[in-house]
Structure 1
């Protein structure tokens, strides 16, 4: 995908990548057990992508409206910098993170898939979405992955961001 100079500048200055969980890091399915436990399926390639972008100095956070021990465990495994669960107002959570890190919203990317993600997507510099996102979310995105959430979409998005950053760095040499 050809990017504009504006998108290149945003990707180059990216400091924080925020992700939704259900429908982005997973396929959106939730398996509930009778004992109130649950299961979610994550993609290992997404995890590697998260490690790659963190190695570039970009912090990674999760903001999700649900609360899940499974998500806590996955976030711990991936050394996620910020895990915010049970969040009903994601834009308010973003404001807290901006203050904590002393950054502006244009230094943030958010990957969403459903209408509850629209307010935060309108605030960040790089609103992004996955192939299975609802139409209004896709329309609000600067990039939509070809892959669906839970099937390597986050890795695809991270690879796209890293490619832009690498190309931009090459132009500065």
Structure 2
């Protein structure tokens, strides 16, 4: 199995126990749409949702760390069985460290996927830093892995599938659907 970068040499996909995701620009395309009644709308990719569920079934905890607060995000997290939702957290690294402490994990056991400058320190600190094709250049430069899909367009699914493939679990998953 290939070794990937991160803060500690020798981190491999098998070591990852937590995938923490940003929302705007990762799980969504980064647009915020306000309806005339003031409610907020976001579009989420259904394929990302299946990827998250498959990763969870493989024993990887999935969490959301976002700088904004949104009822829509809470609803999507609940639909996907994501119980670790950290909203209003602009300091993503501090939030990731707190989450690791709560879960009894080291940063080396975490993958973090973000797309913009507020995600930079968490991507650098995580055992595996992931990003999306349309991330800002500073993030793409430090990430260990980058999707071919843009944020909100299946990038999270691509990351989940890649992790499952690297862990050797992909053939069994495909067999379940065959």
Output the TM-score relative to the length of structure 1. Answer: 0.91
**Take 1:72 and 1:26, find their aligned partners in 2: how far apart are those partners?**
13
**Equivalent residues of 1:43, 1:152 under 8 A apart:** yes
Instruction: Say whether residues 1:146 and 2:144 are aligned partners.
Output: no
Of 15, 19, 22, which aligns to 2:21?
19
**Take 1:45 and 1:130, find their aligned partners in 2: how far apart are those partners?**
15
Shift of 1:9: 4.3
Q: Which runs of 5+ in 2 are unaligned?
A: 170-178
Q: Aligned with 2:20: secondary structure?
A: strand
Summarize deviations over 1:88-135 as a string: whole Å, max 9, x none: 211111111111111100000000000110011121100000001000
Q: Which position in structure 2 is the counterpart of 1:68?
A: 70
**Take 1:33 and 1:9, find their aligned partners in 2: how far apart are those partners?**
44
Q: Which position in structure 1 is the counterpart of 2:37?
A: 35
Stretch of structure 1 that moved more, 84-93 or 5-14? 5-14
Output the TM-score relative to the length of structure 2. Answer: 0.89
**Equivalent residues of 2:26, 2:155 under 8 A apart:** yes
Of 105, 128, 131, which aligns to 2:130?
128
Summarize deviations over 1:14-42 as a string: whole Å, max 9, x none: 10000000000011111012332110000
**Take 1:81 and 1:61, find their aligned partners in 2: how far apart are those partners?**
7
**Take 2:96 and 2:147, find their aligned partners in 1: how far apart are those partners?**
23
Of 104, 107, 115, which aligns to 1:113?
115
Aligned length: 167
Instruction: Say whether residues 1:10 and 2:12 are aligned partners.
Output: yes
